[in-house]
A and B are shown apart, each in its own frame.
Chain A
Amino acid sequence: MERDDLIVNDSYALNAHHSDAEGAKIRSKIWKVTALLTLLTIVEVGMGVYFKRSEDFSWTAIKWTFIFLTLVKAGYIVMVFMHLGDERKNLRRVILAPYILFILYLIFIAIREGFGHMDAFNTFH
């Protein structure tokens, strides 16, 4: 298997340069993502103001829409603004996989096991 971690030139940073033409392409992508993030934020705020809370299914659906839109926004920030999408696949996995696993586990344990101790928790606040 070909090694992908070998760098002939000893400075990674020196290899990260790009030309003016590439720069123009990157900038146009940045502005597109900006427009999308702004649009999603406006949609979220509009939904938050417009929809009234209720106990039925509609509010649950709205909540999950909020979470979905937030994850889309987070994805664009991490992959484009933080350039994780341009890094090597193995780095991407080393960063994302442990985090997603830990957070899913934390949420699972809070929901699944936490409420048995809720009385104890309520005495602390």
Chain B
Amino acid sequence: MTQSKEIQPRETPGALASARFGAPAGRPLGDAVSPDAAPAGVDVCESTDAEPRPGPALADVKVQLRNFGFSYGSHRVLKNLNVDFENKKVTALIGPSGCGKTTLLRAFNRMHDLYAGNTYEGEILLLPERINLVGPDVSPTEMRMRLSMVFQKPNPFPKSIFENVAFGLRMRGVKDAAAIRSKVEQSLKDAALWEETKDRLHKPAYDLSGGQQQRLCIARALAVDPEIVLFDEPTSALDPTATLRIEELIESLRSRVTIIIVTHNMQQAQRISDWTGFLYLGEMIEFDRTEKMFTNPGSKLTEQYITGRFG
């Protein structure tokens, strides 16, 4: 299984087309007929043709970057990104500080819309509907309902543990107290926090330790059944033990939800991700299976970065 997937990126477009039709699981019907709908190649950055070519296809794509770019005012931070993110897999974004990886992550749930002067270019297509997440007529609030985010520093609300997890549900109009209770319990269990908090659900979230707070933030993110969970360096403020627990947690979420994680820690990317994207100065230098990326990187720059030559 792993074997066959691993060779996919090396296959020719012809062989791919059949592979694509052979594996229609989770694909929208319109997808196969529209040439525009073909999954963008993961290596498009290195190709010269602007048109998305049917590159190495993923079995099941959740979100697609199409010529995506982003600017803070006149400063263009991300340029011409074309990447597919596989459904229910973990994709890590690595790169030196200032390469734009957090900027990219925050574009998915339109966090940049909160501040003036930011502009998106291109598209981020959310499958199966192929909605352009950053489309000018797409409401950021609506998109944020489908995605969740876990931030760099734990940022629980100064409310009770219970209310922290319940907030997203309340925003989705869930009124039934029993439904909220059971969902809160389930989410805390999913975030491996239930045992520690079940006796003090109505105590302030600030009484928890840093690592527990971050797991609470993960529970809060999971409670709303997101299609994608975005992690922005979720362990950078935590000690090694707490980090390990978060990594185990992400491991347990794999195959349940699509995860995109920004990390400074290359061992972490190696440990937890299926795919890794290496960003440098706002460009996707390389995007490949994590094992390949860390054993046999395709680009000199990637190799230099992952071996600690810079960054």
Q: Do A and B come from one complex?
A: no
Residue ranges of B at the interface with A (Cβ–Cβ < 8 Å): none
Residue ranges of A at the interface with B (Cβ–Cβ < 8 Å): none
